[in-house]
Structure 1
Amino acid sequence: MLRELVVDSKTFRYLPVEVLKDLHLHRLRYKDPVLLFLEEYDTAYTMLTSWEKPLTTDAVVTGYPGIGKTYLLLFVLLKRLSSGLPTAVQSTKDDFILFTESGPEVYDPGDSLVDLSSGTWALADSNTSGAIKPCFNFQTSLSEVFVVQTTSPQPHRYKQWTKQREEHSANFPPLTSMTSLIIIIRWGPSARTCLALARGTPSLAAWEQKVMFTAGNFAEGELPLNDFDPSDISDVLFSIHPRDSSREIMEARIATDHILDIVLEQLTWFNAAQQADFFNIISGHPLLKSPLGNLYGKINMLDSIPMPSVPRVISLSSSMYLQDANQNSLPSYWRQVSTTTFTSLTAIVCTATMIFLVQSTVSPRYELKKLGLEFIRQHIPTSFWKNRQCCVGFIIPDKERGIQFTSTKYTILKDFLELELRYCILPVGTSDLTLSQLGKLRQPCLGLQKS
């Protein structure tokens, strides 16, 4: 029944069109002309088989939207049928199909007279809007039934019904760039998204606009971050991964560096107070234990971090500018003000010998702004400026990007020959530190490295 296709030394197994038609898989909401089986499905089937006992055990399979959890259920169904094993499948709230030796039968999910026989696997696809959880017959069968539910990571889809039984969870990783090179690298590992973009529906330009719009809403806090389902926006911004080889715990990450750049670009338009509030929210979300918020959280809490040669901190508002301060009262830390002049600079940090112009934007879409640099140079007392080495410090996630930033030929720097370019590595989306822990760390700019 299965056929094989070899691509780049990789062997793929699939079912041909004529076989798919005979299986009437349209009843299970499957309409594509080819059913492709991934190697990951074999791993999943082995894990499920090992969990079938004890009798009070059920399984919940979660993962990144678009990865193919529905197709996994079809794979499990075909494996069971090829071995002549009883299997029930539910993909809508209206009915379920029971496959036995006598053939398939369609039943009402509320029919109390239907009891599944011992050894039946009850497969529930909760990735559709209609079937939120396994039906009544699956949950209350008097026989020895093993329930397998595929679902998004939203807890309310599985936590309630699994309270009465022991639950195993398996979270499966997204596809790798092997299968969809450029699109996956830029837009993330969702197979559904990559196939749609490869077909041109939507176009790459339209998809980028959607990502920018979603990132803007995400940054503005219009999405319900305290209780949101990652699957709602994960095909646009997030990728959901198992945390370790046990696959019992999942975590959300910004899907790609390209999307991270877009998110950071949107965030730079907000003032420090808005940024701090936003990242306080997402830092507390159970799925976002290591957000890019650590970067901004650290920068925005500089005024509470003990720093050498910093006797006090003065935040400047619209009524107090640098020209109002003389050399003796110049603030050691200048918090970003609400003006587009400084959208690319997060802070100014002054020490006895240095002036650091801190740029925490790690997106290459943003360049140094001449207007901001001119304003700073004009309004810092001349003697103060001349007696200190001034440098622009980029806060970046890795050395490679730091070298990229500091080696860039910025056209505006020909008018600012006294400026040096340096960078400080602060990993984005990889730190497990909380904001309070970050607040105890030393200010990052003191360890700036020359390229």
Structure 2
Amino acid sequence: MAPMLTLFCLVIDNQKVPIGNILMLQIQSDSYTPNLRNLIKDEMAPELDHLAANRLVMWKLLKPLDIRRMEDEGSFDATIKEIKLPDPKSNQASRRNGTAEVLRQIEELSVYWETSPKKGHLHLIVQVPSVNTPESIKIDLVRGTADRLYCTLWKKPLNPILAPVVVPDPKKTYMYVPQDQLSKLGVKHLDYEEEALLFRDEYILAHKAIKEWSKKRRTEKSGGVVITGHPGLEMNAGKTCFLLYLLFHRLSKGLPTAFQFLPDSFVLFTNSGVKVYAHTFDELPDGTWALANCSAKDPLPCDSFLVACRSRDAFVVQTSSPDEKRYKTWRKEYKAYTYVMDCFPLTESVALGMIHGFNDQLIKDHCEKWGPSAHIMMAHMTNPDRISRHMECVKQAAHHFVHNFGDYITDVNPTEVSHTLFTIHPKGLSSEDRQSSIGGIETSYLNRILMDKIAAKNQQEQINFYKLVSQHQWFKGSAGYILENVVLSRLCADPESKGLPCTPAQSDLPQLTIPVCQGHLNLSYKEQHSLEYLNRIRRPFCVIPTSKTSATVDATIFMDRHIITIQVTVASEHSVKETGFDEAENAKSLVKNWKSSDLRIDLMDKGDPKGKQTQNDPKVKETESNPKGKQMENKPKVKETLRISMYSAVFNVRDFSPIKSEEMWEKYRVKDTEMFEEDETPEGREVVGEAGNSNEVKMDED
């Protein structure tokens, strides 16, 4: 049997004033420090009844004090005041080179005393933290919140606390927890200050992925997942709120769940009830999900979570900004997964805004201009004065990105590129693609601000910028989008520019010069009723698709003898699948519906890069009576008509003349409403000549 220890102990407050008399404690040396704390609390009843035992801080005096001598000299209180007790969380507190050493949260007492120390001396000082400290108040409030959550949700349906919100166009219903229910539950003490909790579709997908990963925690030896995504989205954005969503669902199903609310404190929900672990360590039941939200100050889950993660008893779900520095170390050590959460789609942004009483059309207009950030949307909606400040932030971010990108291209992360300009998305929707992210510019308005900064650079600087950006997985898509807008603006709105060289996708076709088009149409390839108007427009002109669903066609140029489909690329080489139309059925449909009395369109197609002949005879014309161009017996051959080749052209950054100044850029830049908005009526469509001048579509005489 382990020897019995006899320790003399004094309990003091934060001002080192004794609380009660010296205690004589007897405890076995193989007991642990939590056992000693519980013994002290029991001996000090009722003075410490208001306090959890794990909040007591115990100090071993490295030089025990002679109790009788201090009493005889009348120096007892003064001597206690002179004892230096450092911050118990500091490294100095655990060193044995001062006057006292802090006892660890969990440690066998024999580490500190193998046998009973010298009798008649003070061996142990116990500090009682102030009851009214912010931390102690928070712990008490969390304890009350945890009790309410357990009573309301444990093994009970969520429907009683949910309310619906219906988005009108397109019609869709979302569920959310309204403000009155959140107030009753007291979740603000879990650091949730919003007026509602929207249940996003993204949460359902993430929840499903985490359930699959948690089942494999022992076979694949992974103990957790880091949930990350677009920075700056703390307002109902999907990271902090997602933990609350998980907590609600786990409680409703009666599943063991731990929720961390301080760096070293958490609350545990089990079949046995609720227990708050403040400043202490404890084992978690098997199958527990341990929910933690990291910050720059406290990037790691608490010790109890990490120990359970290592043993695979629990599965840690930590939310974090996309800055890998916060979670890279523990994720690597514990082989945790990463899950990149996507931004709000438009319907969810509208739903969130409607919950807060905002007009759905105003929300749509805002998102079309500023992007999908729920944080930015709510900030602007609640305080319009912030918009002008936000505009300055966007311009500064664009300037920084263009002028400093080369300095950190090899080690850039999303937090270094302002989220006001770029939006971070998962690479894809599969669980594997969710573990990496890409960046993008969401709106043409933000894109144009960035283009203005690029315009200030000379030709070589612009080329170098595009090349650098295209090398990074996050931004190469944005680089292509930027260049595409530059090219389309050049093609459609600069009457003084020279034509642009066109490199055909098929090497055996000759090079062409793409002319500057004085007119352009914003046309959906699905607008079959509008195609008849194309034949009446004076060539050359440019058709820009209003929908970016085609993977290979950015624009189509109609000339007298050629039709050129434009693909803009920032890469040094670019291959178009087959002829570039495997994924561009809409573009093919556009050409097939071209009508002309004296022109025939020969479509390039698989296996025939020079142009597909009509039923093997180039002299046979398609007519309404002979729609497929079949050879007819005893019929004279139709005279060969003018042939139009269809080019799938690759336009590279090195081929174009740069914008020389912001002033010149402003001269011929095409506005959003002129480039991308689709006119509902085919009659009276507008084309753009010089910037800002809208003219009626010029028609050839019938």
By the TM > 0.5 criterion, same fold? yes
Whether the aligned pair in 2 keeps the contact of 1:154 and 1:229 (CA below 8 Å) is yes
Aligned-partner Cα distance in 2 for 1:443–1:182: 33
Match of 1:151 in 2: 320
Task: Spell out, residue by residue over 1:215-253, the C-alpha distance to the aligned partner (whole angstroms, 9 max, x if none).
Answer: 112111178444233144453111222222212332111
1:3 aligns with 2:162: yes
Secondary structure (helix, strand or coil) at the match of 1:221 reads helix
Match of 1:425 in 2: 566
Aligned-partner Cα distance in 1 for 2:188–2:346: 30
Whether the aligned pair in 2 keeps the contact of 1:4 and 1:11 (CA below 8 Å) is no
Whether the aligned pair in 2 keeps the contact of 1:174 and 1:241 (CA below 8 Å) is yes
Aligned-partner Cα distance in 2 for 1:220–1:33: 40
Q: Structure 1 173/94 Cα, relative in aligned 2: closer, same or farther at 3 Å?
A: same
Q: Structure 1 271/167 Cα, relative in aligned 2: closer, same or farther at 3 Å?
A: same
Match for residue 300 of structure 2 among 133, 143, 146: 133
Match of 1:217 in 2: 400
1:36 aligns with 2:203: no
Whether the aligned pair in 2 keeps the contact of 1:393 and 1:424 (CA below 8 Å) is no
Counterparts of 1:94-109 in structure 2, within 5 Å, are 95-100=265-270, 101-108=272-279
Aligned-partner Cα distance in 2 for 1:26–1:18: 12
For normalisation by structure 2, the TM-score amounts to: 0.43
Secondary structure (helix, strand or coil) at the match of 2:477 reads coil
**One-letter identity of the residue aligned with 2:242:** L
C-alpha deviation, 1:138, in angstroms: 1.6
Secondary structure (helix, strand or coil) at the match of 1:171 reads strand
Match of 1:85 in 2: 255
Q: Structure 1 137/402 Cα, relative in aligned 2: closer, same or farther at 3 Å?
A: farther
Aligned-partner Cα distance in 1 for 2:256–2:423: 35
Aligned-partner Cα distance in 2 for 1:60–1:399: 43
1:271 aligns with 2:458: yes
Match of 2:209 in 1: 47
C-alpha deviation, 1:361, in angstroms: 5.8
Higher RCO by CA contacts (8 Å cutoff, separation 6 or greater) = 1
Q: Structure 1 254/369 Cα, relative in aligned 2: closer, same or farther at 3 Å?
A: same
C-alpha deviation, 1:75, in angstroms: 0.3
Match of 2:368 in 1: 185
Match of 1:124 in 2: 292
Q: Structure 1 274/139 Cα, relative in aligned 2: closer, same or farther at 3 Å?
A: same
Whether the aligned pair in 2 keeps the contact of 1:402 and 1:424 (CA below 8 Å) is no
Aligned-partner Cα distance in 2 for 1:169–1:426: 34
C-alpha deviation, 1:424, in angstroms: 7.4
Aligned-partner Cα distance in 2 for 1:281–1:176: 30
Match of 2:229 in 1: 63
For normalisation by structure 1, the TM-score amounts to: 0.65
Secondary structure (helix, strand or coil) at the match of 1:262 reads helix
Q: Structure 1 104/17 Cα, relative in aligned 2: closer, same or farther at 3 Å?
A: farther
C-alpha deviation, 1:33, in angstroms: 2.4
Match for residue 228 of structure 1 among 402, 409, 412: 412
Aligned-partner Cα distance in 2 for 1:92–1:233: 30
Q: Structure 1 292/198 Cα, relative in aligned 2: closer, same or farther at 3 Å?
A: same
Question: Which segment is superposed worse, 224-233 or 246-255?
Answer: 224-233
Secondary structure (helix, strand or coil) at the match of 1:241 reads strand
1:260 aligns with 2:447: yes
Question: Which segment is superposed worse, 183-192 or 146-155?
Answer: 146-155
C-alpha deviation, 1:153, in angstroms: 2.6
Q: Structure 1 198/225 Cα, relative in aligned 2: closer, same or farther at 3 Å?
A: farther
Aligned-partner Cα distance in 1 for 2:514–2:542: 18
C-alpha deviation, 1:76, in angstroms: 0.1
Secondary structure (helix, strand or coil) at the match of 1:230 reads coil
1:240 aligns with 2:407: no
C-alpha deviation, 1:145, in angstroms: 0.5
Aligned-partner Cα distance in 2 for 1:362–1:202: 34
Task: Spell out, residue by residue over 1:113-140, the C-alpha distance to the aligned partner (whole angstroms, 9 max, x if none).
Answer: 42222111111223x3333232332222
Aligned-partner Cα distance in 1 for 2:267–2:495: 63
Secondary structure (helix, strand or coil) at the match of 1:45 reads helix
Q: Structure 1 156/74 Cα, relative in aligned 2: closer, same or farther at 3 Å?
A: same
Counterparts of 1:170-181 in structure 2, within 5 Å, are 170-178=339-347, 179=350, 180-181=363-364
**One-letter identity of the residue aligned with 1:169:** T
**One-letter identity of the residue aligned with 1:95:** S
Aligned-partner Cα distance in 1 for 2:283–2:489: 58
Whether the aligned pair in 2 keeps the contact of 1:174 and 1:190 (CA below 8 Å) is yes
C-alpha deviation, 1:282, in angstroms: 2.7
Aligned-partner Cα distance in 1 for 2:564–2:264: 59
Gaps of 5+ in 2: 1-159, 351-362, 499-512, 525-540, 546-562, 576-648, 657-686, 689-702
C-alpha deviation, 1:155, in angstroms: 2.6
**One-letter identity of the residue aligned with 1:245:** L
Aligned-partner Cα distance in 2 for 1:195–1:165: 37
Q: Structure 1 63/402 Cα, relative in aligned 2: closer, same or farther at 3 Å?
A: farther
1:199 aligns with 2:382: yes
Aligned-partner Cα distance in 2 for 1:213–1:424: 36
Whether the aligned pair in 1 keeps the contact of 2:341 and 2:425 (CA below 8 Å) is yes
Aligned-partner Cα distance in 1 for 2:411–2:260: 27
Across the aligned residues of Structure 1 and Structure 2, the Cα RMSD in angstroms comes to: 3.9
Aligned-partner Cα distance in 1 for 2:440–2:300: 26
Whether the aligned pair in 2 keeps the contact of 1:118 and 1:145 (CA below 8 Å) is yes
C-alpha deviation, 1:280, in angstroms: 3.7
Aligned-partner Cα distance in 1 for 2:263–2:413: 21
Task: Spell out, residue by residue over 1:82-118, the C-alpha distance to the aligned partner (whole angstroms, 9 max, x if none).
Answer: 222221223553533333333141433xx4x422221
C-alpha deviation, 1:259, in angstroms: 0.8
Between the two proteins, the alignment pairs up a number of residues equal to 343
**One-letter identity of the residue aligned with 2:291:** L
Whether the aligned pair in 1 keeps the contact of 2:238 and 2:341 (CA below 8 Å) is no
**One-letter identity of the residue aligned with 2:194:** D
**One-letter identity of the residue aligned with 1:185:** E
Identity within the alignment, %: 28
Q: Structure 1 281/177 Cα, relative in aligned 2: closer, same or farther at 3 Å?
A: same
Secondary structure (helix, strand or coil) at the match of 2:215 reads coil
Task: Spell out, residue by residue over 1:232-283, the C-alpha distance to the aligned partner (whole angstroms, 9 max, x if none).
Answer: 4453111222222212332111122211111111110011232233334333
Secondary structure (helix, strand or coil) at the match of 2:411 reads coil
Aligned-partner Cα distance in 2 for 1:363–1:105: 62
Secondary structure (helix, strand or coil) at the match of 1:68 reads coil
C-alpha deviation, 1:74, in angstroms: 0.5
